[in-house]
Amino acid sequence: MGSLDADLPVVTVDGFKPLDVDDLRKQLLLSVDFIVDYYKNVDAQPVLPQVQPGYLRHLMPAAPPPRGATLEDALRDIRLAVLPGMTNWASPNFFAYFPATLGSAALVGDFIASALNPVAFTWLSCPAATELEELVLDWLAQLLRLPPAFRSSSDSRGAGGGVIHATTSEAILCTLVAARDGAVRRAGGVPISRLVAYGSDQTHSTFAKACRIAGYDQANVRLIPTRLGSGYALVAARLRDAMAADAAAGLVPAYVCATVGTTSSTAVDPLGLIADVAAEFGAWVHVDAAYAGSACICPEFRGFLDGVERADSLSISPHKWLLTGLDCTCLWLRDRPRLAESLGTNPEYLKNEPSESGLVVDCKDLQVGVGRRFRALKLWMVLRTYGVAGLQAHIRSDVEMAQAFEGMVRADRRFEVVVPPRFALVCFRIRAWGGREAAAEADNRSLLALVNGGGRVYVTHTVLDGKYVLRFAVGSTLTEHRHVASAWELIRAKADEVLGGRPLE
C-alpha cells in the first residue's frame, strides 16, 4: 500500500444508508430552498466572480472527510466556498457568449430524470427513455417544420430520425465520422488522408476540433473566408471553387458544415445553395443551428432554415435558447442507419430480442459513448408545460430586448452596430474615428475591461474582418428590459471614461 493509503484513517460506519427514503424528503426540501434562494438573489450578485486562481483549495479540506457531514453542512460549504467562485450564467445581467437558458420545467424534469437514473443505452434497458426521445424529437421537428424525412414517426415511412446528444460538438463529430466512412466507400477505399471537410472562418471552432478527432488531415480542413458583404455567410460560389480545386487535385470532398447563427455574429449560411454545391461532389451537409435554430419555431424566423430539406443532418441545442438547461443537443438525420453503421456496437452481453428484431432503436449506436442520460424527459417537460405559444413568446421577448439595445447603440453617435442583428445578439463597438482601427481596437478593449471589471455585467468580444467587436447577447432566462437598459447605461458611462473629452470627428 502507498503512503496515501497509510495516511487515511480506517473508519467504520454502522447502518450506512446512502439513499434513506425516509430522510429523502427533508433533504430535497432543503435543496429546493437553497436553489430558490439562489435564484431570488442572483440579480444582486456579481456576474463574474471576484476570486483568484486556486481560491477554492484555501476554503476546502485537502483530504476527503473520514466521516460524512449533514446535508446542512454540505450546503453551507457550497454557499461559502462554491457560490463565490461561480460565474452566474443565471444572472439577468449575463450578456456573454450565448445564453444557457433554464426554465423551472427543465429543472424539474432533469431532477426527476436523475432520480429515475436509467442508463438507457438500448431500447430494452429503458423503453420509456428511448421512445420519449423519439417522440420529443418528432415534436420539435414539427415545430421547426422539418421535412418528414427527418422524423422517426411511423407515417414518415423512411430511415430518418434523431438522437439527443450532450452538445453540438458530439453531433458534429458523429456526423463527420459517418460522412468519412461513406466517402471512403464511395471513393473505392481511398485513405482518410485524402478526405476534405469544409466550413467558413465563422464556423464554430468545435468543427476543426471534431475533424482532428475523426481523423481528417488538418491540412484538408478548409475554413473559407467570409466578408461583411455577405453578412459573414459562407458564399456558395467560393465553396464550389474550393471543392472543385480539391477534386481536381485528387482529393475527396466529404463534408460541409453550414451554420444558421454563427457564434461571432449570428451569420446564416445559404443552406439550399450550399446543398446544391455539395451534391455535385457527393459530400455530406450538416447544418449547425445550435443557437439560432430554436428561434425557428417562430414563423418569422423559419425562413433561415430554408434549404434544410437538402441537408443530411441538422443539430440544434435547446439548452442555449429553449429553456432546457445544459446539456441537450438534438440531432436529426435523413438516414439515421448511416450513423449506426459507423458508431454501432453489438457485444454479446447487450444482445436482446427487441434489438435483433429491427423494430427498435438502440441510441448507443448513434453517439460516441454507450451509457447515456435521460435528457429527453426535461425537453419533453419544457414542451409539455410551456407549449408552443409560451416558447415562441420567450424567443420573441429576447429578440425585442435585443432590438431595444440596438436602438440605444444607434442613438449614440460614438458607437456603431457592426452587422445587422438577426436574432438576439448585437455586435457593436466604439467607432474607428478617422479610420484609425488600431485606436478603435484599444478603445474597445479598454471599454470591455471596464464594463466587466466590476462584475456587475458580463459582455464578451469577437473579431470580424479584423475589427475588435463587442457582443451583447440577450437571452438569460431572468433578463428583463430594465437589465438591458441598466447594462447600456453602464456601457455609456465606461465609454465616457475611455474617450474622456476626446473630440469626435
Positive or negative torsion for Cα 130, 134, 140, 143: negative
Query: Does residue 31 sit within a domain?
Result: no
- Catalytic one of 216, 349, 386, 458: 349
pLDDT confidence of residue 29:
94
Could you tell me the residue range of the domain that residue 329 belongs to? 118-373
| Nearest residue to 379 via CA among 28, 92, 113 | 113
Query: Does residue 20 sit within a domain?
Result: no
C-alpha cell of residue 97: 457568449
- The DSSP result for 455-504, as a single string, is SS-B-EEEEETTEEEEEEE---TT--HHHHHHHHHHHHHHHHHHHTTPPP
Q: Is 349 a catalytic residue?
A: yes
CATH code of residue 494: 3.90.1150.10
pLDDT confidence of residue 87:
96
The reply to whether 178 and 127 lie within a common domain is yes
Beta carbons of 133 and 161 less than 8 angstroms apart: no
Q: How many CB atoms lie within 10 A of CB 218?
A: 9
CATH code of residue 277: 3.40.640.10
- Cα gap 100→47, rounded to integer Å: 14
The reply to whether 262 and 300 lie within a common domain is yes
Report CA Rg, the chain: 25
The reply to whether 234 and 298 lie within a common domain is yes
The number of domains in the chain is 2
The reply to whether 200 and 331 lie within a common domain is yes
3-class SS of residue 119: coil
Q: What residues does 8 pair with on adjacent strands?
A: none
Domain-ending residue, one of 306, 340, 373? 373
The reply to whether 207 and 297 lie within a common domain is yes
- Cα distances (angstroms) measured from residue 46 to each of 54, 84, 92, 198, 452: 19, 9, 11, 41, 10
In this prediction the pTM is 0.92
Domain-ending residue, one of 373, 392, 411? 373
- Cα gap 40→32, rounded to integer Å: 12
pLDDT confidence of residue 72:
94
The reply to whether 163 and 134 lie within a common domain is yes
Query: Does residue 137 sit within a domain?
Result: yes
The reply to whether 211 and 159 lie within a common domain is yes
The reply to whether 129 and 230 lie within a common domain is yes
Query: Does residue 52 sit within a domain?
Result: no
- Cα gap 483→90, rounded to integer Å: 13
pLDDT confidence of residue 19:
87
Query: Does residue 177 sit within a domain?
Result: yes
pLDDT confidence of residue 1:
34
The reply to whether 457 and 425 lie within a common domain is yes
Query: Does residue 7 sit within a domain?
Result: no
The reply to whether 178 and 214 lie within a common domain is yes
The reply to whether 391 and 346 lie within a common domain is no
Q: Which residues of the chain have pLDDT under 70?
A: 1-13, 154-158, 501, 503-505
Domain-ending residue, one of 348, 373, 398? 373
pLDDT confidence of residue 3:
43
Query: Does residue 352 sit within a domain?
Result: yes
Query: Does residue 87 sit within a domain?
Result: no
Expressed in angstroms, the distance from the first to the final Cα of the chain is 75
| Nearest residue to 138 via CA among 302, 321, 332 | 332
The reply to whether 245 and 365 lie within a common domain is yes
